[in-house]
């Protein structure tokens, strides 16, 4: 596909700002509402922030790493950008919906591209009842928390919590406990992406819990509903030789 009209956006770091200036001198900068593609300059955190801001837009996003890890990014270079864009692989992902009911009443809705995590808020362990598609699967999980991760987010917090790495084109979600005390042997589950995960917080006054969709936190929740939002399709472009698909596969063979 040809991407003739390029818009650029950068994080606030000096390195990212300079990269944007250099690229604009070479390729110009189209207004976002007129662009074929958005080039994001920064790290993974800024990429996630940009994707959240672009939920209502349909243009593909191409990240260039001027941060640290850059798992969601491509290598930064000013050379042959137009050809790299034209030859890139497009990965389409759908985020998660989080609906968190608060102890004080009312609901908070948020979108998660990587994961929704439910975390204890004090020194007391959380107690969580896990429902999958209206069936109770674990009556009481005593833990620091539990999370639901998308394939795109499976190499992030989910992997640090010893959850599985999911192929980007798999139709599954990862349900992963965080420091589970009971039941000790439960290591989590992989679920259909059509699953509805309902987390019922037990003894929530004594054992307060927060729910976090990427970086959007809601404190003192009493239950959380998590499911995929198939109405949103995010398009992320990767260099064909180092696509997200390849990064996720390679991550599983690092020692």
The residues annotated as belonging to the active site are 44
Closest alpha carbon to 116 in 71, 167, 176, 164: 176
Cα–Cα dist 27/41, whole Å: 14
Which helix or strand (DSSP H or E) is residue 247 part of? helix 244-251
What 75-81 contacts at long range (C-beta under 8 Å, 24+ apart), as own/partner pairs, is: 75/239, 75/242, 76/19, 76/41, 78/19, 78/22, 78/23, 78/26, 81/6, 81/23, 81/26, 81/27, 81/39
Two tokens at 246? 């390849």
Closest alpha carbon to 118 in 42, 200, 30: 200
């Amino acid at each position: 596909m040809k991407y003739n009209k390029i818009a650029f956006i950068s994080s606030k770091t000096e390195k990212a700002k300079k990269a944007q200036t250099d690229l604009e001198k070479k390729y110009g900068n189209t207004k976002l509402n007129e662009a074929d593609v958005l080039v994001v300059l920064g790290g993974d955190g800024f990429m996630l922030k940009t994707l959240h801001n672009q939920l209502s837009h349909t243009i593909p996003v191409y990240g260039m790493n001027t941060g640290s890890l850059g798992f969601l990014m491509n290598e930064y270079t000013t050379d042959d950008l137009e050809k790299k864009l034209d030859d890139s692989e497009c990965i389409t992902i759908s985020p998660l919906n989080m609906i968190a009911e608060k102890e004080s009443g009312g609901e908070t809705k948020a979108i998660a591209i990587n994961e929704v995590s439910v975390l204890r808020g004090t020194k007391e362990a959380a107690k969580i009842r896990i429902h999958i598609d209206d069936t109770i699967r674990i009556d009481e999980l005593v833990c620091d928390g539990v999370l639901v991760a998308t394939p795109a987010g499976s190499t992030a917090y989910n992997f640090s919590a010893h959850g599985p790495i999911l192929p980007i084109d798999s139709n599954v979600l990862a349900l992963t406990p965080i420091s589970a005390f009971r039941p000790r042997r439960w290591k989590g589950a992989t679920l259909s992406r059509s699953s509805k995960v309902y987390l019922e917080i037990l003894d929530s006054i004594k054992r307060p819990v927060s729910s976090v969709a990427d970086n959007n936190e809601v404190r003192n929740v009493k239950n959380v509903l998590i499911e995929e939002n198939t109405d949103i399709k995010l398009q992320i472009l990767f260099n064909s030789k180092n696509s997200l698909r390849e990064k996720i596969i390679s991550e599983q063979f690092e020692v």
